[in-house]
Amino acid sequence: MSPYVPILGVLFFSAILLAVMIVASLVIGPKKYNRVKYMPYECGIDPTPKATGGGRFPVKYYITAMMFLVFDIEIAFLYPWVVAFDQLSMFVVLSMIVFLLLLCIAYFYEYKRGGMEWD
């Protein structure tokens, strides 16, 4: 017997279960259209109307997103490095210091652009 047969069995069973759940939700679920249900939700208050010209977002949102990405990349690269720190050569340690300095440049850029000021 192939070792992949149980894995294929689990995948087949989960696909069948998924199909049954989707069909059951379509059959059992409510069919009434509710306008309030399909409205965008903004922290319990009525959503603001869209501005003319497509509703442009302030640059602060993009700077915050960039700050999250820089932090996320930093954690993704630092975590394995910290786990194996005692087994690393001096070259790897120096290259990580250069990487951290580059990230500090990104943080400094965000600070200068006002991304760390919360009004």
User: CA 105 to CA 108: how far, in whole Å?
Assistant: 5
Statement: residue 22 has pLDDT above 80 = yes
User: CA 80 to CA 56: how far, in whole Å?
Assistant: 39
- Using pLDDT thresholds of 50, 70 and 90, give the confidence band for residue 8: very high
- Using pLDDT thresholds of 50, 70 and 90, give the confidence band for residue 43: low
User: CA 114 to CA 107: how far, in whole Å?
Assistant: 11
Block residue for tokens 């047969």: 5
CA 116 to chain centre: 20
pLDDT in tens, 44-86: 666 666 665 666 666 777 777 878 888 888 888 888 888 888 8
**Burial letters for 93-115: b for 16+ Cβ neighbours within 10 Å, e otherwise?**
eeebeeeeeebeebeeebeeeeb
Q: In this structure, are residues 115 and 60 in contact, taking their beta carbons and an 8 Å threshold?
A: yes
Rg (CA), the chain: 25
The pLDDT mean for the chain works out to 81
